[in-house]
Chains A and B, each alone.
Chain A
Amino acid sequence: MPTPARGSSTTPGAPDAEALCDAALAGDRRALARLLTAVENRTPLAEMALRRLYPLAGRAQLVGVTGPPGAGKSTLVAALIAELRRAGRPVAVVAVDPSSPITGGAVLGDRVRMQAYAADDGVFIRSMASRGHSGGLSAATTAAAAVFDAVGFDIVLIETVGTGQSEVEVAAAADTTVVVEAPEMGDEVQAIKAGLLEVADVIVVNKGDRPGAHRTAGQLHAMLADAPRDARPGRPSPKRPEVLVTTAATGEGVAELLAAIDRHRSTVRGSDGETSRLKRAEAQVWAVLVDRLHARVRALEGAEEVPAAGLSAAIPSPRVSAAGGLLRSVASHEIDPYAAADAILARLVGDAPGSREARK
């Protein structure tokens, strides 16, 4: 089914956005939930709302919690909620589960472990499907975090399954990334994926009640101590994550974890933090740019057929429709993807930089 053109209706949502923001800022949780939906769907309303809310945000602590399936991330998030509530701190959670690439559907099951806070207005839990768009995860979670931040949640926990891409994206969105591992019997440190270690600010070996947890933590300590300490030019300096053992199921070690997160945050507030804030800003702006570009390419797809002469000499057919036609030409190998991309860019901005720089 066709999507209503998103770029075309910016004004009708305006009063809605204002009213929703007012209500959410006044503590209306349903309005907050609505704003989060808009942000997740990247609607015009979300854009207007974020223009209002973004300047109010910037104080909250964004904590990513990632790790392999079943490591105990949700249980640990629930334990962190308990710890934070004991200290009287309001806490928001964004729990991300993967979308099926085939049907687009998802089962969002992280909430199961966090349902104890139904009556507590200081806790807000929101599940999100990853929806598969590249870069979209960090954009959506960062925007959601900005909304939570603006309405007064000073810590936002973002849970996601560590599957390769998602933990990198969440690390980009978070101030502090907690990587959760759980030792099974006989599991060795090698089983812990390199990608996960690279993004970790704090490493948690969960299921501390199981045999092997402390041994795994010890091996991790040793491994991290062996890693080269000097930053190589052109590369980010290697992180020095703390390694902790928790038993999320009982809450053991969770207070220490929260302390480690807070410690990391205070270091991030200095000049190190500047880099991560810039990275996050870049990811956000980039995501919006990509979105805007998509919208304009889609608008082209709806456009009339245009003479090929208006596009590029590289296109052989006499008449080529806009983007849709170009895609068909690429599919049938009439033109190459570079020529098609340049042709689309040329139609959008009247110039295709790739055609001048890359091909000389």
Chain B
Amino acid sequence: MGGCGAAIIPGMTDRPLKVLIAKPGLDGHDRGAKVLARGLRDEGFEVVYTGLRQTPEMIVTAALQEDVDVVGLSILSGAHMTLLPRICSLLHERGMDDVLVAAGGIIPDEDVPALKEAGVAAIFGPGTTIAQVADFLRANARPRE
């Protein structure tokens, strides 16, 4: 996965995993999202970056149109308890239960159980390395056909 392995002949490698990195809500902290986008690219992922100030509807439409394997949400504003569950339920409504949802940013430990309950598979806080995220996504994203 993740485009590893040198191919002698083009077309031989596996298809890279496709990840959406989005910033929900009115949160201007995009450093982490950008670090993650570039870091995952360097790990061989295809990363669609949607930019700042995304509504849950925008994020879910992008995930659907791009047919991503992973939706990655970066949120440091404190609004995660309303925005993340809303995104998860919209994904469910639109039949995307097979898409892995991961989140990161400033999310207090006590909020984690409720977010997992809502459908966020994992939450990564400050200091997370790209390798940790990449390994988690490779291990948990839906298998490619």
Contact = CB atoms under 8 A, between A and B. Distances in A.
Contacts of B145: 43, 45
A105 B13 CA distance: 12
B10 A134 contact: yes
A299 to B, nearest CB: 11
B71 interface: no
A33 B65 contact: yes
A293 B40 CA distance: 32
B133 to A, nearest CB: 13
B6 to A, nearest CB: 10
B4 A1 contact: yes
A107 B49 CA distance: 7
A100 B2 CA distance: 12
B55 to A, nearest CB: 7
Given A100-B42, A133-B11, A291-B11, A33 B49 contact: no
Given A29-B64, A115-B51, A115-B54, A104 B3 contact: yes
Interface in B1-17: 1-5, 8-16
Nearest to B37: A107
B26 interface: no
Given A100-B42, A105-B41, A30 B54 contact: no
B62 A118 contact: yes
B61 interface: yes
A240 interface: no
A30 B46 CA distance: 19
Interface in A224-279: none
B65 A126 contact: yes
A36 B51 CA distance: 23
A3 B9 CA distance: 12
Q: How large is the interface on B (under 10, 10 to 19, 20 to 34, 35 or more residues)?
A: 35 or more
Interface in A109-127: 109, 111-113, 115, 118-119, 124-127
Contact of A127 (B11, B16, B48, B51): B48
Contacts of B50: 111-112, 115
B3 A136 contact: no
A103 interface: yes
Contact of A111 (B9, B49, B94): B49
A337 interface: no
Contact of B43 (A103, A108, A297): A103
Contacts of B58: 115, 118
Q: How large is the interface on A (under 10, 10 to 19, 20 to 34, 35 or more residues)?
A: 35 or more
A193 interface: no
A298 B12 contact: yes
B62 A33 contact: no
B10 A105 contact: no
Residue of A30, A107, A294 ringed by the most chain B CB atoms within 10 A: A107
A103 B10 contact: no
A8 B70 CA distance: 29
B94 A136 contact: no
A294 B8 CA distance: 10
A194 B15 CA distance: 34
A109 B49 contact: yes
B62 A111 contact: yes
B57 interface: yes
B44 interface: yes
Given A3-B12, A43-B145, A108 B49 contact: yes
- Nearest 9 A/B pairs, CB to CB: A104-B3, A112-B51, A105-B41, A133-B10, A118-B58, A33-B67, A118-B61, A103-B44, A105-B44
Given A1-B4, A105-B40, 13 more contacts: A1-B5, A29-B64, A36-B67, A99-B46, A104-B2, A107-B37, A107-B49, A108-B47, A112-B49, A119-B61, A125-B62, A132-B10, A291-B11
